[in-house]
């Protein structure tokens, strides 16, 4: 079962150039920055109530975020929905005809297991399913 919107991912060229908007102009202070080398990104998670804004910076030109920015520019990259059973959700959605980018979840940093649904099956929106690691 999908519980809540966990975060909205926003592709940015440089986190440091984007942070002043969120931190200084909007007054958001709960910010955690980490690198996720296995996904070739650096991430700033900005908590706003129960939801987060995730700024995504490419760690190199071969990063999916670098390719996204090259093609579409900076902006919303994905919406992440949290579930307590990511494997069950992937199986259910696949059985319902949703095309999966990831048939199995992968670990993202120290916080999540994640998997993506292909935008061709989701009204051109990249949807990430995430499950908190216990």
Predicted local confidence at residue 14, as pLDDT = 98
Predicted local confidence at residue 1, as pLDDT = 87
pTM: predicted TM-score of the whole model, two decimal places: 0.92
Alpha helices in the chain (DSSP H): 15-20, 64-72, 86-95
Read off the pLDDT of residues 60-114 as tens digits, 9 standing for 90 and up: 999 999 999 999 999 999 999 999 999 999 999 999 999 999 999 999 878 889 9
Domain 2-132 sits in which CATH superfamily? Answer: 2,3-Dihydroxybiphenyl 1,2-Dioxygenase, domain 1 (3.10.180.10)
Alpha carbons 76 and 22: distance in angstroms, whole number:
15
Predicted local confidence at residue 64, as pLDDT = 95
Which residue shows structure tokens 């992440």? 80
For residue 39, what are its two tokens? 């996904």
Neighbour count for residue 132 (Cβ, 10 Å): 13
Alpha carbons 73 and 65: distance in angstroms, whole number:
10
Predicted local confidence at residue 124, as pLDDT = 95
Predicted local confidence at residue 43, as pLDDT = 96
Would you kindly state where each structural domain of the chain is located, as residue ranges?
A: 2-132
Which residue shows structure tokens 């966990």? 6
Read off the pLDDT of residues 38-69 as tens digits, 9 standing for 90 and up: 889 999 999 999 999 999 999 999 999 999 99
Sequence-ordered list of residues with C-beta below 8 angstroms from that of 37, at least 6 positions apart, any chain: 59
* Between 111 and 11, residue with greater pLDDT: 11
For residue 6, what are its two tokens? 């966990």
């Amino acid at each position: 079962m999908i519980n809540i919107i966990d975060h909205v991912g926003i592709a940015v060229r440089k986190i440091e150039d984007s942070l002043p908007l969120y931190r200084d102009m909007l007054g958001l202070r709960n910010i955690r920055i980490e690198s996720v080398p296995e996904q070739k990104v650096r991430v700033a998670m900005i908590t706003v109530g129960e939801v987060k804004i995730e700024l995504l910076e490419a760690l190199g030109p071969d990063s999916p975020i670098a390719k996204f920015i090259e093609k579409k520019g900076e902006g919303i990259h994905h919406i992440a929905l949290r579930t307590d059973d990511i494997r069950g959700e992937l199986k259910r959605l696949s059985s319902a005809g949703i095309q999966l980018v990831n048939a199995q979840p992968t670990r993202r940093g120290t916080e999540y297991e994640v998997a993506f649904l292909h935008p061709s099956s989701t009204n051109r929106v990249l949807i990430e399913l995430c499950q908190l690691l216990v």
